[in-house]
């Protein structure tokens, strides 16, 4: 493999171009581009393309984690509800602990996915608690946020 290096004498040379022809071409191209541009908010991040296979794999991993923990949680919930009167509500503690454990495992899975792929694309997946639109209940949703771009050319 050969690499072409520029001649060092030509490196600092400044070339002059014909300004009149270039200015006319730029004005024509700018008027066409301006008419085709759509207004964009200033702070809107650039769109990110993620392969559908990667997205599907990430969602499948989250669903597999939920699928694994759901039967155990339902069994403990039924037992806790049946024995709730006798135990003064203490029989529901295993359900609370299992739900917390499931939530932590999904958070760890999302962090692993972030480190593996999504942080490189400028995205951050996280589990967030939100109020349901139809009722007063709370639900957990996966939020996909844009990571801020760090100005690497600005001095410290």
* pLDDT by position in tens, the chain (length 156): 334 444 444 444 444 444 444 455 555 545 444 444 545 555 556 667 788 899 999 999 999 999 999 999 888 888 888 888 888 878 888 888 999 999 999 999 999 999 999 998 889 999 999 998 889 999 999 999 988 877 677 666
Predicted TM-score of the model (pTM): 0.63
Specify the 3-state DSSP secondary structure of 50.
coil
The residue assigned the tokens 């002059």 is 16
d(CA 11, CA 5): 10
> Are 87 and 103 a contacting pair, CB within 8 Å?
no
Residue 93: partners with Cβ closer than 8 Å, 6 or more residues away: 80
């Amino acid at each position: 493999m050969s690499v072409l290096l520029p001649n060092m004498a030509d490196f600092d040379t400044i070339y002059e171009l014909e300004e009149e022809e270039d200015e006319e071409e730029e004005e024509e191209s700018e008027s066409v581009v301006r008419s085709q541009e759509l207004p964009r908010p200033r702070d809107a991040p650039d769109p990110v393309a993620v392969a559908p296979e990667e997205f599907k794999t990430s969602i499948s991993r989250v669903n597999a984690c939920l699928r694994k923990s759901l039967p155990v949680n339902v069994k403990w919930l039924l037992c806790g509800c049946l024995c709730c009167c006798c135990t003064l509500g203490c029989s529901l503690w295993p359900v609370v602990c299992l739900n917390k454990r499931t939530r932590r495992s999904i958070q760890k899975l999302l962090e692993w996915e972030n480190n593996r792929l999504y942080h490189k694309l400028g995205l951050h997946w996280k589990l967030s608690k939100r109020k349901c639109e139809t009722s007063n209940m709370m639900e957990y949703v996966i939020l996909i946020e844009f990571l801020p771009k760090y100005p690497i050319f600005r001095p410290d």
